[in-house]
Amino acid sequence: MTESVPADPAAYERVLKAFLRPDGTLHTIPTKRSKLLVVLDHLSQRFEPGRRYSEAEVSDDLEKVHPDYAALRRYLVDDGFLTREEGVYWRTGGSVDV
């Protein structure tokens, strides 16, 4: 069974507020899975659906958020927010604004 991000926008924002600095950088990567999924969902918004990204582009973007960009990249792939094939990444998950 796959966990998901909270449907309650207030709960979602509380988690982000707890882990993000005012400048949008991540001060720590959550260890609790439910909170990590919120942060990953938020980070997935940095990637445009339908666009392909090189590993360097993904790494460069995530490094602006947290120095352990490799862990974030791995979590995004492992939890289905991004898909990777032959060094190319694309967004396959996360919430979208409608």
Q: Is the pLDDT of residue 96 over 90?
A: no
Share of the chain above pLDDT 90, in %: 86
Answer whether 0.75 is exceeded by the pTM. Answer: yes
What type of residue sits at position 50?
A: G
Q: Are 62 and 72 in contact (CB under 8 A)?
A: yes
Q: Which fold has domain 9-91?
A: Arc Repressor Mutant, subunit A (1.10.10)
Beta bridge partners of 8: none
Domain ranges of the chain: 9-91
CA–CA dist 4, 56 (Å, integer): 28
Cα torsion angle, 22, 5, 95, 28, sign = positive
Q: Is the pLDDT of residue 90 over 70?
A: yes
